[in-house]
């Protein structure tokens, strides 16, 4: 921002006009609490049109926000709807949030594990944003699953099951819900102030005792550089801890698809395989363990890291985590046999075809964002806020970087609605991969 300018009373009065509020931020000046509240109110009651919201988002993207502005925006959006409380619960209220990536299905395993260890996990998730998949979209792959129960139903399920993963209700941070959808289609997704306020308005409204942030970094993340990822982690932790929610941020790698799949139903299938022990891709497992460990230690559900890892291993091996996850599926309208028969409740793609290596050598680099956009192109994401999602499409059996292959070997499969769509997506996936003659140096999975 340019030099901060404190608004005079006359400027404040004028600033309630949307165009004046936009102008103040466009010019790099400071928005006080009243001006920010007027913007938040305009998000809720339509006082800001979609074009004005987009302009405001771009002004914030370009000019940034001070800590006070971020706190005021976060609290304003939090208080734009219901704020939950969990009095009478006999365990900690804890959640995790990811800044988003390609193939990031961590929330499902993680919530089930922490719940099985004694935590209550009321997880309010988002839709797909840009090239990243949405947790709520993935759950809607499951026939009958209701991602938008009433607040009363949500609280009852958390109490009885221990966890519930839903999308934003109309009454929970409604200001963010509208801003979130417009950011997706106005190239303002990566704004640190907007990410911070979006995440924390929902999490603070959920009445958490503790939050663990998974801040992704790499070419498939919103934050492509470690410097930006650290800035976002600092922004989130400073605002959240300042608001009284114990928060830890962990930076994890997104320079390749996380796990072996990218797409909605396909990722739910990988989740089932993970929870049942049939397949636990090492990088995915490391991220899940690291985040679960932090959630258990920070809430006092585990005394130290070793105790946490022992508890995680126990609930996975016993099947308790899988059982908790299936109970949530049932409670929110899904089938009672999802763990045993996931494809009985999900639709498979019309066309499934192999993608083959174009060269000999090691898989050295992946343009992960391009893979995510290929999923969007298949219909698995959105290019407009109200667009319908094809839950069946995406990629699976994706080989990790560092593997040596021969030309013609299968490196992934594409799931598509037609042969033409499959062919285009296969070409896009192949172009996203680079090969090397030598063993490549890979990014760490966990950065801190």
Spatial distance between the Cα atoms of 349 and 425, rounded to a whole number of angstroms: 14
Among residues 178, 202, 311, 382, the one annotated as catalytic is 202
C-alpha–C-alpha distance, residues 57 and 48, integer Å: 12
Q: What is d(CA 313, CA 367) in angstroms, rounded to the nearest whole number? A: 33
397: annotated active-site residue: no
Q: State the Cα–Cα distance between residues 177 and 199, nearest whole angstrom.
A: 11
Looking up tokens 């099985």 gives: 116
* End-to-end Cα, the chain, rounded Å: 29
203 counts as catalytic: yes
Contact between 342 and 409 (Cβ < 8 Å): no
Asked if 119 and 299 touch (Cβ cutoff 8 Å), the reply is yes
Catalytic pick among 98, 132, 261, 368: 98
Q: Give me the residue label for tokens 């016993």.
A: 318
Q: Which helix (H) or strand (E) holds 415?
A: strand 410-416
**Residues 25, 70, 95, 216: which is the catalytic one?**
95
- Number of H helices and E strands in the chain, helices first, is 17, 12
Active-site entry in 15, 80, 99, 135: 135
Residue 9 is encoded by which pair of tokens? Answer: 């009373």
Cα 293 from Cα 287, distance rounded (Å)? 10
How far apart (Å, rounded) are the C-alpha atoms in residues 61 and 179?
Answer: 13
Q: Residue 380: which residues within 8 A CB-CB, separation 6 or more?
A: 128, 133, 263, 264, 389, 390, 391, 393, 394
Bridging pattern class, strands 121-125 and 163-167: parallel
Asked if 352 and 392 count as a contact pair (C-beta separation under 8 A), the reply is: no
Would residue 392 show up in a list of annotated catalytic residues for this protein?
A: no
Is 135 assigned a catalytic role?
A: yes
**What does the alpha-carbon distance between residue 325 and residue 177 come to, in Å, rounded to a whole number?**
26
Q: Is 8 a catalytic residue?
A: no
Residue from 198, 201, 290, 368 carrying the catalytic annotation = 198
The helix (run of H) or strand (run of E) holding residue 154 is helix 151-161
Count of Cβ atoms closer than 10 Å to residue 149 Cβ: 18
318 belongs to the catalytic site: no
**Two structure tokens written together for 387:** 């667009």
Active site residue 198: yes
- Of 15, 25, 70, 97, the catalytic one is 97
Residue 23 annotated among the catalytic residues of the structure? no
Q: Which of 155, 203, 327, 369 is catalytic?
A: 203
H or E stretch at 177: helix 174-184
Spot the catalytic one: 25, 70, 96, 293.
96
Catalytic residue of the set 105, 183, 216, 280: 183
- Say how far apart CA 316 and CA 295 lie, in whole Å: 16
Taking Cα atoms as reference points, which of 65, 279, 105 lies closest to residue 193? 65
Q: Is 177 a catalytic residue?
A: no
| Residue whose entry in the numeric block shows the structure tokens 């409740």 | 345
Q: Among all residues, which ones are annotated catalytic?
A: 95-98, 135, 183, 198, 202-203
């Amino acid at each position: 921002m340019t030099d901060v300018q404190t608004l005079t009373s006359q400027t404040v009065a004028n600033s309630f006009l949307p165009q004046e509020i936009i102008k103040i931020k466009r010019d790099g000046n400071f928005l006080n609490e009243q001006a920010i509240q007027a913007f938040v109110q305009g998000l809720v009651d339509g006082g800001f049109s979609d074009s004005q919201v987009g302009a405001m988002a771009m002004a914030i993207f370009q000019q940034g926000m001070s800590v006070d502005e971020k706190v005021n925006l976060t609290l304003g959006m939090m208080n734009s709807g219901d704020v939950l409380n969990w009095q009478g619960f006999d365990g900690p209220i804890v959640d995790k949030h990811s800044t988003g990536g390609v193939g990031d299905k961590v929330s499902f395993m993680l919530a089930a594990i922490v719940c099985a260890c004694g935590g209550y996990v009321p997880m309010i998730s988002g839709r797909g944003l840009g090239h990243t998949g949405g947790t709520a979209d993935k759950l809607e792959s499951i026939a009958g699953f209701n991602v938008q129960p009433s607040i009363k139903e949500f609280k009852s399920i958390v109490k009885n099951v221990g966890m519930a993963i839903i999308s934003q209700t109309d009454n929970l941070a409604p200001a963010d819900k509208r801003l979130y959808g417009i950011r997706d289609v106005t190239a303002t997704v990566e704004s640190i102030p907007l990410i911070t306020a979006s995440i924390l308005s929902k999490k603070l409204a959920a009445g958490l005792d503790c939050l663990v942030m998974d801040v992704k970094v790499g070419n498939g993340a919103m934050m492509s550089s470690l410097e930006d990822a650290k800035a976002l982690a600092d922004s989130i932790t400073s605002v959240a801890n300042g608001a009284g929610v114990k928060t830890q941020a962990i930076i994890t790698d997104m320079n390749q698809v996380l796990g072996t799949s990218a797409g909605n139903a396909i990722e739910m299938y990988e989740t089932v395989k993970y929870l049942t022990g049939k397949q636990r891709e090492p990088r995915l497992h490391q991220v899940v363990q690291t985040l679960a460990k932090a959630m258990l230690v920070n809430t006092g559900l585990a005394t130290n890291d070793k105790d946490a890892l022992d508890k995680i291993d126990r609930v996975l091996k016993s099947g308790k985590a899988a059982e908790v996850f299936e109970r949530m599926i049932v409670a929110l309208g899904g089938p009672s046999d999802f763990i045993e028969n996931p494809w009985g409740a999900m639709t498979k793609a019309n066309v499934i075809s192999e993608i083959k290596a174009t060269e000999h050598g090691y898989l050295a680099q992946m343009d992960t964002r391009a893979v995510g956009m290929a999923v969007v192109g298949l219909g698995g994401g959105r290019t407009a806020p109200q667009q319908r999602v094809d839950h069946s499409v995406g990629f699976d059996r994706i080989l990790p970087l560092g593997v040596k292959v021969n030309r013609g070997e299968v490196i992934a499969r594409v799931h598509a609605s037609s042969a033409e769509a499959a062919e285009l997506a296969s070409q896009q996936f192949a172009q996203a991969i680079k090969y090397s003659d030598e063993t490549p140096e890979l990014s760490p999975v966990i950065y801190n």
